[in-house]
Amino acid sequence: MSKIKIVNLQKSFGDFTAVKNSNLTINDKEFFVLLGPSGCGKTTTLRMIAGLELPTSGEIYLGDEEVGMLRASERDIAFVFQLFALYPHMNVKNNLSFPLKMQGYSRSEIKTRVEEAAKLLRIDHILNSNISSLSGGDRQRVALGRALVRRPKAFLMDEPLGTLDAEFRELMCLELKKLHMDIGATTVYVTHDQLEAMSLADRIAVMDGGEILQADEPSVIYNKPATKFVASFIGSPGMNFISIDQGISNEQSTLNIEGTNFNIPKQYEISKGKKNSFGIRPENLSLTNEDGLKGSVFGVEYLGSRKIVTVKTNFGEIKVKTDISTSVKINENVQVKPSNDNIIIFDGETDKSLKSEFMN
């Protein structure tokens, strides 16, 4: 197992830059998730680490070795494809032993390793089956098994659960997590599903437009997003943004919006311009009758244990996660107020969050 480091990595396809000047360090034995919407460059980054694409510029280190321009076969990594890519003309056992045959292991060693992986993934009873007779879950397990038998330096996974049904995906998510704890392999996992990312990752890198916006632990990504995009992409529903037409100064700790003063965490940074955003997550807002932003109820969604109330204000729709006991009617006039200091100011020019007492 190895740590993976990418330095100033860039990839262009003609005029289109898929990955812009990216830097990342993935620690040994870490479960690292690349998260972002489709077309953000996460798969391209993964494919460059695998050697399936060659970088336009930059370096990739696997352990201490620079592998950027090496062929995929020379990198000693395993890749799990979204579409599994199991060899249809071979049965399960041959699929599992295919990578080992190339590396010249003895028959008995191959047999031992295949059986070991099969046992771990609970597919030992289907070793002689044809790929076409397997269920989606079993195919996924075989694909994982084919990666496991090699004992590679790192596992790369490209949305491996993307094609499974929701119910099954949850189960496989748990299995993956357990598998990772059992074997402790460095894993890079690509997904566009934030729930998958949150539940699997030791650390997450959020990507958009070919750039890595933030790479950190899930709780930090969620609570202290580095940019407006991260804040809106993570969380369901995403963060609320209220546009404010005023600059932020150092040490500022209140903000006047529509005549009402709101306490904000003490700011440590001066905003670049006069147009900024006030960001707050739905669960940090509450509905009141006074001292808040005025609006009217636009919609109410029941989530079982919580309710999401959408309030129409002069600043657009604001979503509030409330207690199930809250009862409001559509078109009822309400006010929205932060219930704690979990507030982030985003600089209007850079879209980055400003440093504050909360964000430090």
| Contact residues: another protein, CB under 8 A | 50-52, 71-73, 75, 77-79, 81, 83-89, 98-99, 102-103, 131-133, 136, 139, 146, 150, 163
Instruction: Extract the tokens encoding 337.
Output: 């107020």
- Residue 112: other Cβ atoms inside 10 A: 13
Shortest CB 113 distance to another protein, Å:
13
Residue closer to another protein by CB (options 52, 198) is 52
The answer, yes or no, to whether the previous bond of 152 is cis (omega within 30 of 0) is no
Cβ 90 to another protein shortest distance, Å? 8
Give min distance, CB of 252 to another protein, in A. 53
Of 43 and 276, which CB lies nearer to another protein in the complex structure? 43
Confirm if 353 and 225 have CB atoms less than 8 A apart.
yes
Which residue's CB is nearer to another protein, number 117 or number 248? 117
Q: How far is the CB of 165 from another protein (least distance, A)?
A: 11
259: left (phi over 0), alpha (psi -120 to 50) or beta: left
Q: Please, what is the minimum distance in Å from the beta carbon of residue 128 to another protein? A: 17
Is 358 in contact with 342 (CB distance < 8 Å)?
Answer: yes
Q: Is the Cβ of residue 144 or residue 239 nearer to another protein in the bound state?
A: 144
**314: which 2 tokens?**
């002069």
Measured CA to CA, the distance from residue 354 to residue 357 in angstroms comes to 10
Q: What is the DSSP letter of 266?
A: P
CB-nearer residue toward another protein: 135 or 350: 135
> Which residue number, 87 or 107, has a Cβ lying nearer to another protein?
87
In the complex with another protein, which residue's Cβ is closer, 93 or 228? Answer: 93
Q: Shortest gap between Cβ of 114 and another protein (angstroms)?
A: 13
The minimum distance between CB 305 and another protein, in angstroms, equals 34
Rounded to the nearest whole angstrom, what is the least distance from the CB of residue 46 to another protein in the complex?
Answer: 12
Are 324 and 307 in contact by the 8 Å Cβ rule? The answer is yes
Query: Under the phi-then-psi rule, with left for phi > 0, alpha for psi from -120 to 50, and beta for the rest, what region is 16?
Result: beta
- Could you give the C-alpha distances from 122 to 50, 80, 169, 225, 335, in angstroms and in order? 27, 18, 17, 39, 55
N- to C-terminal Cα distance for the chain? 33
Distance CA 200, CA 30 (A): 11
Q: Contact, 42 vs 189, CB < 8 A? A: no
| CB distance 293 to 260 below 8 Å | yes
Decide whether 39 or 137 has the Cβ nearer to another protein. 137
Distance CA 199, CA 26 (A): 18
For 168-251, strand residue ranges (E) read 187-191, 203-208, 211-216, 240-244
